[in-house]
Amino acid sequence: MDGPKSAQERMQARAPEMELIREAQGGSRAAFDALVRQYEQQVLRLALHLTGSEHDAEDIYQEAFLKAYRYLGNFRFECSFYTWIYRIVTNLCLDQLRRRKTRREDHAVILDHSGDEIDILASVSDERSFSNPAKELDRKLLGERIQAALTKLTPRERMVFELKHYQGLRLRTIGEMLNTTEETAKNTLFRATKKLRTQLAGLR
């Protein structure tokens, strides 16, 4: 549990970062570069996993940090910088997922790192068993099937599931990042798991 001591320790641990932010707000490019290096791995990891495309991940990275640079002056330390930068990234990812959803509504299509499209559902048999997937599908194909199921979620459900299941964030933090409440995030997660189970039920 977060006691007052741990909160104080957290503040102390964040002190160098806060100093960097203040310097960057004062116009220091070096300080901003240091902040980018601190968060770029996490930003790319999230964007890459969500979009499944290196190209899109690179675009999101670019746009997110440019936005951060432009609006850093508005950051008032009311939340952690981690939450703030993630909020920017998740919004950009949501936009990307929404664009993709309208483009490929009925196609379970994903991109590999070179940008080539692979239609996973077309390559997976519905008769295969969910109870013993290791025997039926190799791990790569199973992953691709999961990705296909994830594309059936709404962008918001996809995002909450991503942040909870894959990034391991607390529901409260997810609520903060998506400008909503913990309760709403919990309900969204519940809906996402239900949909995913329906999507993947054919594997049983």
Partner 1 sequence: MNCELAHERIVTAAYGELSDELTHELERHMAGCPECQKEREQLLALKLLADANPVLEPDANLVARSRLRLEEALDALPPKRWYEWLAQRMVNNYSSLQAAPVAACLLLVAGAGAGSLGGYEFAQGRAAHAAATMTQPAGAQPQPVVAAAPVEIANISSIVRQPNSGMVEVRYNQVVPQQIQGSLDDPKIRQLLMVASENSASAGVRDDSVGLLAAECRASHSCQAEGIRDALMVALRYDKNEGVREKALKGLEPYVAEDVRVRDAVLEALLNDSDPRIRTAAINILEPVEADTSVRQVLSTVANSDRNPHIRTVSRQVLSRVPEIQ
**Would you tell me which residues interact with partner 1 (CB under 8 A)?**
27, 29, 32-33, 36-37, 40-41, 44-45, 48-49, 54, 57-58, 61-62, 65-66, 69, 73-74, 76, 113, 130, 133, 139, 142-144, 146-147, 150, 164-167, 170-171, 186-187, 189-190, 193, 196-197, 200, 203
Amino acid at 201: A
Helix or strand (DSSP H, E) at 119: strand 117-119
Minimum CB distance to partner 1 smaller for 5 or for 37: 37
Q: Which residues contact 137 (CB under 8 A, 6 or more apart)?
A: 124, 128, 145
The CB-of-17 to partner 1 minimum distance in angstroms stands at 19
Shortest reach from residue 78's CB to partner 1, in Å = 10
Q: How far is the CB of 54 from partner 1 (least distance, A)?
A: 6
CA 143 to chain centre: 17
- Backbone region of residue 178 per phi and psi (left: phi > 0; alpha: psi in -120 to 50; beta: other values): alpha
- Whichever of 8 and 179 has its CB closer to partner 1, that residue is 179
Question: Which single residue is written with the structure tokens 């890459």?
Answer: 48
